[in-house]
Amino acid sequence: MRKTCLLLLLCLPAAAAEGPKPRGVIFLDICSARADHFGAYGYKRDTTPNIDALAGSAALFENAVAMSSWCLPNYSSLFTGHVPEVHGQYVSIPYRGMPGFETTLAERLKSAGYATAAFSGGIYFMRPWGLDRGFDKYVNVFSTSTAAPGTFGETLPGVTEWLDGNKDKPFFLFIAVDDLHVPFQSEDPNMFDPGYEGPVNDPSLRGVPFFRDYNDYLRGALPEDATNYARVAAFAADKDGLAHLTAKYDAALHTADKRVGDFINYLKKSGLWDESVFIVSADHGEQLGEHGLLGHTEGLYEPITHVPLLVRAPGSPAAGKRLKQLVQRVDMMPTVLDLAGVPYGDLQLQGRSLVPLLQNPDLEFRQYAYSSSKRNLPGVSDPLIEERTLRDGRWKLHWYLYKDAYELYDLEHDPLETENLADKRPAELNRLAFELLKQVERARPHAPGLPVDKDFSRTGVSRQRDRY
């Protein structure tokens, strides 16, 4: 009986963490930021000097995994603590909004007395998509006339003004940094490509329609009479085209990092830096030619799913450490609520709080990380986007509805997934394929509404560890 009671206690959803609470929680999300283009993650170009410096006082998670390949499902997973199969925000149709059964991160913090604000520049933060629930202040500067995302430089003055008026109360501030989203906006677009005057300077080439046509062209699915066919063919034939495109991406990342540095300087001068939690992450990354793909509308390869995550929490023993545990986007809602001292045991969250890792960086955490993506634009003529991946500490399995076989990669020796080992490592393939099937069944709701694990008390601690 005592053993059964202990298991029950260990399996219950976490309550708020004990201990002193920070004055505020600041979550800075850099859209389209792939981890391997940050200096702190080993990149050779000087793209992110300010965020690299932050790593000295933050916990850096080496294996943070996005839930999906594009913006809306990843933001929704952050704000709900649920996978896309539950919140359903994986179709790019406005006015659907967040499902009524969801309680958002901002709603829970607001009900606990926190001032809440969100500043963004991306299209999916426009109000018709419903990510505004629970925010007292909600600012989006996406340009409907040019279809260009707003930049951090545009939102930063409003961010500091809001903090000046709310820093004497507990607060939650979310900032979506969209400089890095196509068309890769930068103060100095050629800083890593001096003297370049070629076609990549055209912003329309650095956009979703062109990227989709490029992906179709390489697999022979773009008809020759398509509007972009000649431009795509010319770009694909240019052996240096991808390098020039990557230089534009890196320049945009450098500009975003510069604004992060400006913001950190403000926080230090205002007295908020040492008393606030500061988190830097990304909703997803960006493919720059890997696997014949550009952008993030399809594919769940590492440039998409491997994202940066740095958590600076006052007094954390993990400060300055690099953590190898697998963590996911859905883990951020329980983490923020834990750090803020706000209970959430009633929300049936599928993520796990990272606070135990911030207190003890050597803890075991999660054996597998799961990602999935569905078609995001109705009527678009690319392959049916139904994609899933599962990875452990070394191996990553890919399943795509429009492909006839699994793909398997050894991330330890092949981090960019260049050699498919599905035919050579049947044991790893079979193990991960079976686990993928189990994760799909665990993740999806088996009835309308929130998933309820009715026999959860009999599943043991290891099942809790892998719950999504």
Q: How far apart are CA 396 and CA 368, in angstroms?
A: 9
Concatenated DSSP letters of 418-463: -S--TTT-HHHHHHHHHHHHHHHHHHS-SSSSS---TTGGGS-HHH
The sign of the CA dihedral 220, 226, 227, 229 is positive
DSSP category for residue 183: T
CA dihedral sign, ordered 276, 59, 360, 348: positive
| pLDDT value, residue 380 | 56
Spell out the per-residue pLDDT of the chain, length 468, in tens. Answer: 333 333 322 333 444 455 568 899 999 999 999 999 999 999 999 999 999 999 999 999 999 999 999 999 999 999 999 999 999 898 777 767 889 999 999 999 999 999 999 999 999 999 988 999 999 999 999 988 788 899 999 999 999 999 999 988 999 999 999 999 999 999 999 999 999 999 999 999 999 999 999 999 998 989 999 999 999 999 999 999 999 999 999 999 999 999 999 999 999 999 999 999 999 999 999 999 999 999 998 899 999 999 999 999 999 999 999 999 999 999 999 999 999 999 999 999 999 999 999 999 999 999 999 999 986 555 554 456 889 999 999 999 999 998 999 999 999 999 999 999 999 999 999 999 999 999 999 887 777 677 655 443 333 333 333 333
Q: Where are the domains of the chain?
A: 2-186+241-465
Distance separating alpha carbons of residues 45 and 190, to the nearest angstrom: 13
First to last CA, the chain: 28
Compute how many other C-beta atoms are within 10 angstroms of the C-beta atom of residue 90: 23
Taking alpha carbons only, the member of 371, 377, 406, 376 closest to residue 391 is 371
pLDDT at residue number 12: 36
Which H or E run includes 417? none
Of 18, 15, 26, 13, the closest CA to residue 313 belongs to 26
Q: Cβ of 452: how many Cβ atoms within 10 Å? A: 10
pLDDT, residue 21, reads 81
3-state secondary structure 55-96: CCCCEEEEEEECCCCCHHHHHHHHHHCCCHHHHCCCCCCCCC
Per-residue pLDDT reduced to its tens digit, 86-95: 998 987 777 6
- What tokens were used for 50? 């300010």
Q: Which fold has domain 2-186+241-465?
A: Alkaline Phosphatase, subunit A (3.40.720)
Q: What is the pLDDT of residues 109-137, one digit of tens each?
A: 999 999 999 999 999 999 988 999 999 99
Residue 235, both tokens: 């770009």
The secondary structure of 81-139 as a DSSP string is SS-HHHH---S--TT--S-TT---HHHHHHHTT-EEEEEE-SGGGSGGG-TTTT-SEEE
